[in-house]
Structure 1
Amino acid sequence: MKEFKRVTLQDVAKEAKVSYASVSAVLNGKDGKSIRVAQKTKELILECAARLGYVPNMAARKLKNGTNSLIAVFTYEQIFPVESENEYYRFFVGIQETAEKLGYDILILNNRPTEENSSRIVLADGAVMMGVNRDDKGIERLVKANYPLVFVGRREVSDVSTHWVTFDYQKVIAQMVDHLNDLCSARTLVYVESQEQEREPRKDKRRFLLEAAQSLGLEVLIVQADERNMLSLEAFGLIEQCKVVVFDRLFLLEPFERLLERKGLKLGSDIWGAVLEDDWMGSHEHWTRWSNQRLELGSLAVEYLSHLLQKETLEQLETLTPLYLVISESSAFPK
């Protein structure tokens, strides 16, 4: 596969048909100091640099000074997850800790890399991307340029092959459904999805849930919460009949619990349930879920990126982070 090729000072000099020294003086801020460059030549150099997509190679400068390489950590979310309450925070902590351990400095970026500002991300040797929001055209440009890029979570982009690491959803969901199987006296459970955009994690969790249920002879009824994360009376009626419910996202739980309270029903005795997520908020310990391994997945993303940067083989490289089932009150067996 063709390697990512950064535009160099030599490329700009060749395009502008001027000397390397002139280009270096203009683009490295030395014009007027050790070297004088005519105004028209300076304008030509700047125009050629912009047209070719030249950006300063910050990582190379650091290496020249004897310091570490540089990787970018990028998210399409509006706010970078530096607060512990953010659901992406522990991913970032894992990325940060492992980058430091492997000797990389970090360039932090957020918002989408459009054609106008995509040069920011290639200041780094490679990048780790977090979050479900994305700009597929921007990603496609980077991938087609063979820029080393690893996603936290499975991400598929049309017409290009992406690198990603993700959770081992299949194994833990199979364990969860096996646990719920003994509670499904009606041989049916209800699966409640939010109104979020259809992305790979959502598709994967639904597929693995359906496969696990089918293997045990269970029927799955899929319903969707409304824009306020509330269930319709019809959907709640199905849950009352089946007695077992699984939610795809953590934020659906509190509205459901309020509805249970109004109906005079108790979670863990009248209705049993689980959620296909970890308790990253630390406020839903009474729900059956899986363990929080976000730090580990962020760490794995950097290890994978490091292999790309070192041009090491990826064949035996692990891409899945294990998850562990946490059984709690919401699905405790009836006494």
Structure 2
Amino acid sequence: MKKTASRQADVAKAAGVSQSTVSMVMNGTADLGRISAGTQRRVMDAARRLQYAPAGQRRAVARATPHLLGVHTFEPIFPTSSRDYYFEFLRGIEEQAAAEGCNLVLFTAAPDESGVRRIFADDTNGLRQAAGSLLLGHHADREDLARLAYEGYPFVYVGHREVPGASISYVGGDYRTATGEIVDDLVALGHRTFAYLGEQSRDEPQEDRWTGFAGALERFALPVPEPVFSAPSGLTTGWLDQALAAGTTAILVESVNLLRVLAAMLNLRGLSVPGDLSVVLLVDDETEVGSLPWATLRVPRNAMGRRAVRLLTSLLTEPNGDYERQILLPCEHTLEGTVGPSPR
């Protein structure tokens, strides 16, 4: 007897969720519905056990061969443990590629003099063996992105990136809104004077965070501080002393490396967190800094990877379709650990 194919309802029952939840998880849009990472994992596990084939995978079966999707990184990012920052991006890509019935291939290249792995070498597109590619990395080469767009090669950047003169497809986190919501919560706790520590290298994700921060303060008619965009080695206790003298009660920090320096300076000055000062890290990196569980903005890394695959397969199967090609997913945050009421 021919085995009956598993249905969406079967996956929903096995995972203990609704069919709409299964649909959103399998389509890579679960974070838009605020579906927790644990629930998403439960749905994916149930789908694997039941060998459930969603619509995307059924389309792939109908093709002569599955799409071969490339994964290119502009700098070394592949994780050595599940705690690495890029682990969930890559796991999300792998999960959604399996759901879509696609194969994956990793592309790498020797770095140029600036340390960036270029896509075009000897005037040749190094990704051409794949039907389309997913691109990752902090330091993208804008010329490569512009050329890919000009040549019509299908690709999706995992992260918010803009290229002058070209419209590229991307899936990123809505850091602007999330940072604004963090400021809202801090103001509700009585904080009125803030400081901001940002990375020296400025790309769209960093600028989105700063814009969300400054915009929220302007909404409350609170003073917007002069930001410090610095390498960790450029920070001094003199900056901290000036911030404290100005009445600062909360500091937002863009990176773990900057947080390490700030934590050391606070310890040197004998200041407690959050007793004397509240601190929020604007990225959820599991790297340990001291003994505190730091208040953080949570990046939807797994969902970004999965949604990027979904978008790429849409570009390949429906290149002229009516759907969003520049997507920012909502981010959550927690203020537990290093945020408290304003001490002033």
Same fold, TM exceeding 0.5?
yes
Supply the AA of the counterpart residue of 2:297: W
Structure 1 segments unaligned to the other structure (5+ residues): 1-61
Residue in structure 2 matched with residue 308 of structure 1 by the alignment: 315
Q: Which fold has the larger relative contact order, with Cα–Cα distance below 8 Å and residues 6 or more apart in sequence?
A: 2
Alpha-carbon contact 2:260-2:289 (below 8 Å) kept = no
In structure 2, which of residues 144, 149, 152 is the aligned counterpart of residue 146 of structure 1?
A: 152
Q: How far 1:328 moved relative to its partner? A: 1.2
Equivalent residue runs for 1:256-335 within 5 Å: 256-281=262-287, 286-311=293-318, 313-315=321-323, 319-333=327-341
In structure 2, which of residues 117, 120, 138 is the aligned counterpart of residue 132 of structure 1?
A: 138
Q: How far 1:122 moved relative to its partner? A: 1.1
Equivalent residue runs for 1:69-84 within 5 Å: 69-81=67-79, 83-84=81-82
Q: How far 1:118 moved relative to its partner? A: 4.0
Give the distance between the partners of 2:176 and 2:155, measured in 1 at CA: 25
Residue in structure 2 matched with residue 155 of structure 1 by the alignment: 161
Equivalent residue runs for 1:157-306 within 5 Å: 157-183=163-189, 185=191, 187-195=192-200, 197-224=201-228, 226-229=230-233, 231-240=235-244, 241-281=247-287, 286-306=293-313
* C-alpha distance after superposition, 1:145-174 (max 9, x if no partner): 111111111111122111111112233212
Supply the AA of the counterpart residue of 1:234: G
> What RMSD, in angstroms, separates the aligned Cα atoms of the two structures?
2.7
Give the distance between the partners of 2:106 and 2:222, measured in 1 at CA: 46
Of the structure 1 ranges 133-142 and 102-111, higher mean CA displacement relative to structure 2 is found in 133-142
Alpha-carbon contact 1:115-1:138 (below 8 Å) kept = no
SS of the aligned residue for 1:270 comes to coil
Give the distance between the partners of 2:229 and 2:123, measured in 1 at CA: 37
Kindly, what percent of the aligned residue pairs are identical? 25
CA gap of 1:282–1:100, structure 2 versus 1, over 3 A, is farther
Residue in structure 1 matched with residue 101 of structure 2 by the alignment: 103
CA gap of 1:300–1:144, structure 2 versus 1, over 3 A, is same
Alpha-carbon contact 2:255-2:282 (below 8 Å) kept = yes
* C-alpha distance after superposition, 1:197-239 (max 9, x if no partner): 2211111111111111111122222343653445323310133
Give the distance between the partners of 2:269 and 2:123, measured in 1 at CA: 53
Task: Tell me if 1:114 matches 2:120.
Answer: yes
Q: Which has the larger radius of gyration?
A: 1
Alpha-carbon contact 2:284-2:297 (below 8 Å) kept = yes
Give the distance between the partners of 2:101 and 2:307, measured in 1 at CA: 15
Residue in structure 1 matched with residue 18 of structure 2 by the alignment: none
Q: How far 1:123 moved relative to its partner? A: 0.4
Give the distance between the partners of 1:140 and 1:317, measured in 2 at CA: 16
Aligned length: 272
